[in-house]
A and B are shown apart, each in its own frame.
Chain A
Amino acid sequence: MQTPELFWAMGLLLPLFMGAVLAYVVGKIISRTRGDRAGGLAAAAITLAAAAGVYILTLVYPHISTGGAAAAVDWLGVLEPDALSLFMVKVIFPLIILVAIYSIDYMKEDLGTDKYYALLLIMTGGMVGVAGAGDIVSLYVFFEILSISSYCLVSFRKQSWEPIEAGFKYVITNALGSTLAILGLGLLYLFSGKLSMAEIAAQVSGWPDLPVMAALVLVITGFGVKAAMVPLHFWLPDAHSAAPSGISALLSGIVIQVGFFAMLRLVLTVFAVQLQMVGLILIVFAAITMTYGNYIALAQSDIKRMLAYSSVAQMGYIILGFGVGFYYQSVNGITGGLFHIETHAFMKALAFLSAGYIIERAGTRRMAELKGAGRAMPLAGAAFAVAALGLAGIPAFSGFMSKLMIYKSGFQAGTALGVVLSSVAIANSIISLGYYLPAIHTLFSPGDAAALKQKGAASPAAAVILPVAAMALITLVLGWYPELGLGPVNPAVAEIFKVIGG
């Protein structure tokens, strides 16, 4: 691999998209000849092979730095992967691999799993493309790849009304969001005549004020919808709770973060001059988002909806980290934000996967009816407890470490606003305890465990145990050795600070 661009296109994107086609075709052929389950298994195997192969490639490839030689081929110029992109990829792939493994067991009753796995790989490719894109149109194209595949995945269980209603709401809201964003990008093109973010950035400072501001507004709201900033969040609880649990895990764990990442990308290049203002906007939205998400999660009776709203709240923490980072040029803010993306990805995926397993066996999502489910399914219950405690930010779990850095950044700002923000963030963890702890307690209080046991709840398949145990392990280990998780984060922070210049 000569250049990062070539590596990105040939090493990452090509295998993923070819894998998607392969998974679909092979799955289809096998299910025609040997029955549906075999086709799904083949598709799953191809998905895993593609994802794992690509991931290994990422790990083998030594490092990525921008500003090197020009792209090897002309059309690769639209990609500009840097350390930040590599960080996202390093979070995306473990998650996809674990979810794909989980899906083997979880989706075994569903029809058309060949399509499911193909869409899963396309979604991954979309995320990788967004991570590496260096050009506004490519960013949009890859974002739409990601969006379209996730629309279909949310509504995958179209037999019932809920995924369909949620799916339509998801489509219309996110289509509006991304079109607003591309409208902003179109304005940028209209005024600069350039498409590469770096080239646009070079022109921005000499512009009349207003068009840049209009573009900024449209881009922030457009991607704000994707990142579920309150009040742009309302599609999230519907979509994330109606989707199959594996997909919920991905949506909450990484897809909304990729939406935020796309905004970050534009902000860091095109709007680098306005970074302080962006920081302030992010701070305001972060405070609203986390408080709103936590309070409304407090009133939920559906476990998946509760987790979905908790994603809104956690997104608030991530945004707060970046907001403080931009506003005060704080290293800890950026590090905390990125690290929280990483830890939250595994915690929230763990919560959704374990909850999904419990829901599937218990046949209900209502918290009150899940009494005793954790006793009947000790592994899933314990995993859920680990995830919930981590999400609540209890020390010794990974969530505490990443939140700690975000708190730290606020205090380090040295102003009253910083201290207030951090205190609000800390106080929010009390509110979140108000729903995580009762959820854990409900799962473990004595209930209809005998009836649950009869449904074969006691013996989870290896395909469930492996991802759940792996994620629980990551959550616990990162709680004690945050340095392990900070490995991929630090180069990305350095990359961002090239722009912030603090």
Chain B
Amino acid sequence: MLVVLLLALMALAALGVVFSRDLLYAVISLGLLSVFTSVFFYTLGAPYASIMELSIGAGLITVLFMATISLVEERQLKGERKLKLSFLSVAGLLVTGAVALFIFTALFKGAAAEHAAVISPGPLPEILWGKRLLDVLGLGIIIFAAAIGIGALFRTEGEK
């Protein structure tokens, strides 16, 4: 039952991200979503993913959002438009609803009823530093690229 509750909370948090009025509430909802996801990962027997989600998803990204939003002036946050029943929102809702329904039916029809999972942390370090080593190196490159990319976007050297 805990799982269903968690999933329901996640869905609620997701709703909050999209439909909350204030941008700050949205950020908080996003953080909450990450926290719930992290807990859910833990119950699935995935502690490493859980801690990663908690630190990066709920921590780093939330902080990043907060910091950036505070860089943008107060007025902007207050001035965010209230959700109106525009053509865009209705059409977007319809289409994305259809897509979500499609994904769901696909998931529903595809899963087998019988299954069993042994809860164990699993040989994560071995996997991460063994078979997925190249991906981990790739992550290093991604972080490097993002770092110098952001550096390029904020570069000031030699500016008059």
Contacts and interface: CB of A to CB of B under 8 A. Distances in A.
- Direct interface between A and B, CB < 8 A: yes
B151 interface: yes
B138 A214 contact: no
Interface in A104-151: 111-112, 115-116, 118-119, 122, 125, 129, 137-138, 141-142, 144-145, 148-149, 151
Interface residues of B, number: 32
B142 A187 contact: no
Given A74-B130, A111-B159, A214-B103, A119 B152 contact: yes
A118 B144 CA distance: 10
Residue in B133, B138, B146, B151 with the greatest tally of chain A CB atoms within 10 Å: B138
B109 A208 contact: yes
A360 B133 CA distance: 44
B66 interface: no
Residue in B131, B134, B149, B158 with the greatest tally of chain A CB atoms within 10 Å: B134
A215 B146 CA distance: 29
Contact of A78 (B102, B110, B135, B157): B135
Interface of A: 9, 17, 20-21, 24, 31, 36, 74-79, 111-112, 115-116, 118-119, 122, 125, 129, 137-138, 141-142, 144-145, 148-149, 151-152, 155-156, 158, 183, 187, 190-191, 207-208, 210-211, 213-215, 217-218
B141 A115 contact: no
The 9 closest A-B pairs by CB, nearest first: A152-B149, A211-B110, A214-B106, A75-B133, A141-B138, A115-B152, A112-B155, A211-B106, A210-B109
Contacts of A158: 152-153, 155
A142 B153 CA distance: 22
Interface of B: 102-103, 105-107, 109-111, 130-135, 137-139, 141-142, 144-146, 148-153, 155, 157-159
A29 B103 CA distance: 51
Nearest to B152: A115
Given A158-B153, A187-B106, A187-B107, 5 more contacts: A17-B141, A76-B134, A111-B157, A119-B148, A155-B152
Contacts of A31: 157
Contacts of B159: 111
Given A36-B157, A112-B157, A151 B149 contact: yes
Residue in A112, A158, A183, A187 with the greatest tally of chain B CB atoms within 10 Å: A112
A149 B134 CA distance: 18
B14 to A, nearest CB: 15
A396 B153 CA distance: 43
A148 B145 contact: yes
B148 A75 contact: no
Given A115-B152, A208-B109, A122 B157 contact: no
Nearest to B104: A214
Contacts of B152: 112, 115-116, 119, 152, 155-156, 158
A160 to B, nearest CB: 13
Contacts of A155: 152-153
B45 to A, nearest CB: 15
A158 B152 CA distance: 8
A111 B158 contact: yes
B110 A208 contact: yes
A122 B110 contact: no
B131 A74 contact: yes
